[in-house]
Amino acid sequence: MASFQLTEVFVAAQRPATDPPTMYVVQGTQALIAIKTTSLNAVKATYQLNGSILDVRTIFIDGSSVPIYVTETYGEVKALIDGL
């Protein structure tokens, strides 16, 4: 089964809490993850509640309701999906 690697990161809400909540990438959480080629089904920008864009992409994997945040560009992930 073919797979490819993406760099996963974790995001968290800023503390103390702000209104609206502000998310940030937790430093030191970058890790390579292998994803089965046929499992990746969507990629989108990651938005803050105030409408600004966080510098990570949200991907969705078949069979999982939890999004994964990755550092690759939208174009890089979209090319992987289009190449399926």
Helix residue spans in 25-82 (DSSP H)? 74-82
pLDDT in tens, the chain (84 residues): 578 899 999 999 888 888 888 899 999 999 999 998 889 889 999 999 888 999 999 999 999 999 999 999 999 999 888 876
Model pTM score: 0.86
pLDDT of residue 38: 86
CA distances (Å), 6 to each of 15, 23, 36, 48, 78, in order? Answer: 28, 21, 11, 22, 12
pLDDT per position as a tens digit, 9-19:
999 988 888 88
Q: What is the total count of domains within the chain?
A: 1
Residue-range definition of the domain harbouring residue 77: 3-82
